Structure 1
């Protein structure tokens, strides 16, 4: 009989990398909130004038950890942070720090490059039961659940590899709709800009909390098997709608929580139409408004917001413009091995109310991703421009009558 997830994690020593990134943060919060009896370690490098401990404190003070702070104010004391760098040999750790980590049984890697991580697991983690890695899907026509890459590098490593589609705002945890960074899915949902893509193909988006649950579950499942069985590969499923539905369901969210750009909501697969709309209705108004601001000694605002949204949407064009065939049968078998209690605590399939999800994401984006003064300024500017446009139309109509 397989040990339940909660029992298996009891008193484990766990190393988590990438906690300064989106997935790593939510993973750290989830482990601390739901697996309180583990020993938790992280690797963080000093940066931008902040030490490793100061960066960790900054993460804990962010809005994504508000629920954890309320439930367990001392949670940060359960995390031991080491100075390191994931692209260096031994992950940039000192020999003493490596010795302190020798009893680690689980490692979650959400921090980018894997080459040094594989070598570190082989040389410095003799008691490792599972290495769980979250990586992005490399999109091509057919994507199987078989690991064909880096076979030599992963040899003798008990690996659980999760391939994630585009990560979107949280659905339920740490709070509904939670997002701190404006990425492509959020920009599309809330109508921050006009997108290039096909409205009829499935939206390759997974809420970040489902991705984190999948990582925890996959690590448990691989850890219960023999170390020499090879890599377990899972392609994480998506929210179950098309890109067109995602755009349409976001119309109400856009009206209630407008993003401070001149972007319009929509998607088209026609390249010239897409760039015509972007040029005349997004880029050009942004440039003209910033020019007027500069003339009167104001600070440029509109082009910077336009650039942020445009970069976010362009990053998604590989998955919005062509249909994909992705195998997910191994992933579906994961849930069958969970107890009812674990399924409730770590749901891995996205059975969600799409409209509510998008509305919560838009509210969170307004709170965490938007400069409020920019929002008020651009909102007022849109009203002025609309008034001038209507006045111009009235003037033309009166001219025709005369």
Structure 2
């Protein structure tokens, strides 16, 4: 891997950067988490709109049955890069995999690779993280918090660094419901938490986790808060930006409408509603859901590197990448998802799509029994008798784990200040290539977006063939009739039960 950045060219571009492409021209970039959903989006956008980049280094950790070369090939063979290969084929050769692991000491880098990064990296995007809400505290702290300290150690060694962007979460301060674009400290010092987690004393770790979970909804949000403090405490005079996206969903337009590559979070919930598997959710329907398309977040991140460098004030700049300026509520999202699922049904849908939103745990537990557990039990029996693998009960259990994980976020809503984002938008609008990025959601058409989102789930997750729509619609019509029969039967049982209770009480009243 022989790459050399032209330092004079970088300085020249910085001095005359009146465009995003000009800012990135001839720079060396390091991206962690490039194999994840958001990381892929950042990599694709940089390659497509900034082909004059000198090089992009992506940190990849080897897996048990895959080398970094194999993982890199799988990444770069993704269909989202096909248009780039056709238009800018040479830019693919500028992407270099580097073996490393943010969870290891010194990022798991070899001495040779570390020296290459020190000499050639100008801009750092730290995206890698574990997004599991229920990780043990020591795991979340190591991967999300300590890794950020390791990245900052490397950044201080970089000879020509001009910008550092850390991707956090809008919920890093989930215990506060009006969140400004600033760093919030906690009563738990990052160094103290890290030391306890590294001590190996499980009892101390468990006690600390119990105390933390009295304030924060999970270890994920807490570990990201600590990481933000580490970025702030170690920034010195470095140009550091922290981007806080809320719930990241499928793309609005780029790299193509509806692009999504995983079933985490809302994507999995929307898919299960569309399949007819999920029929009730534990959320307050009147609360706002802060959902943002992945390409909007990518644009904020890419522009933040430019903004924090050319308009610096020796402070860490925080950017709340959220949709609260143009909000949508849970019941509105639910209605659109159900409507899409009925008008354009998924293949192999197992029940007529509907979803009841309930605000409290008690109501949810009752509906969960009748709408999830019992139907799943009988469906699995049917699958087993027909010689197929029973899987509905397993899906129901996984969904309930998801419900427990996101319960807090479905019961509350937040107001996010966006002063830095607003300032960035104003300055980007003065650039000659301002049209290559979309930085606000004021004109967001949520219904159109959700239709695109659901189509993306069918295309990119389920890999469904649009030619089979007729069969899917016939199947849905059959399930609708069954659904109506079940509703009528349930209503009959309910009325019969009420009648029996009423009759019993009447007899006892008149004939004690």
TM-score between the two structures when normalised by the length of structure 2: 0.70
Number of aligned residues: 394
Check if 1:147 corresponds to 2:239: no
Change (3 A) 1:315 1:31: farther
For 1:386 and 1:322, how far apart are their aligned partners in 2?
Answer: 37
For 1:55 and 1:25, how far apart are their aligned partners in 2?
Answer: 13
**Following TM superposition, by how much is the alpha carbon of 1:74 offset from its aligned partner in structure 2, in angstroms?**
5.3
Partner in structure 1 of residue 436 of structure 2: 345
Unaligned residue ranges in structure 1 (runs of 5+): none
Which of 377, 380, 383 aligns to 1:293? It is 383
Report the secondary structure of 2:160's partner residue. Answer: coil
Partner in structure 2 of residue 204 of structure 1: 290
Which of 175, 195, 204 aligns to 2:256? It is 175
Change (3 A) 1:316 1:207: farther
Report the secondary structure of 1:234's partner residue. Answer: strand
Partner in structure 2 of residue 354 of structure 1: 446
Which is helix-richer, 1 or 2? Answer: 2
Partner in structure 2 of residue 111 of structure 1: 128
For 2:486 and 2:254, how far apart are their aligned partners in 1?
Answer: 48
Which fold has the larger relative contact order, with Cα–Cα distance below 8 Å and residues 6 or more apart in sequence? 1
For 1:234 and 1:251, how far apart are their aligned partners in 2?
Answer: 33
**Following TM superposition, by how much is the alpha carbon of 1:340 offset from its aligned partner in structure 2, in angstroms?**
5.3
**Following TM superposition, by how much is the alpha carbon of 1:295 offset from its aligned partner in structure 2, in angstroms?**
3.9
Larger radius of gyration: 2
Partner in structure 1 of residue 354 of structure 2: 264
For 2:432 and 2:402, how far apart are their aligned partners in 1?
Answer: 37
For 1:242 and 1:119, how far apart are their aligned partners in 2?
Answer: 42
Unaligned residue ranges in structure 2 (runs of 5+): 1-15, 130-143, 185-228, 497-512
Change (3 A) 1:66 1:206: same
Q: How does 1:210-249 map onto structure 2 within 5 Å? A: 210-226=296-312, 229-238=314-323, 240-249=327-336
TM-score between the two structures when normalised by the length of structure 1: 0.87
Q: For each residue in 1:284-329, what CA deviation from the matched residue of structure 2 results, as whole angstroms up to 9, or x when unmatched? A: 2122212332344321232343345444454433222112232212
Report the secondary structure of 2:254's partner residue. Answer: coil
Check if 1:120 corresponds to 2:147: no
Which of 195, 209, 223 aligns to 2:281? It is 195
36-45 or 145-154, larger mean C-alpha shift: 145-154
Change (3 A) 1:296 1:163: same
Report the secondary structure of 1:8's partner residue. Answer: helix
For 2:298 and 2:367, how far apart are their aligned partners in 1?
Answer: 37
Change (3 A) 1:64 1:327: same
Q: For each residue in 1:231-265, what CA deviation from the matched residue of structure 2 results, as whole angstroms up to 9, or x when unmatched? A: 11111121532222212222321111348455732
Report the secondary structure of 1:108's partner residue. Answer: strand
* Partners of 1:89 and 1:120 within 8 A in 2: no
| Cα RMSD for the two superposed structures | 3.1
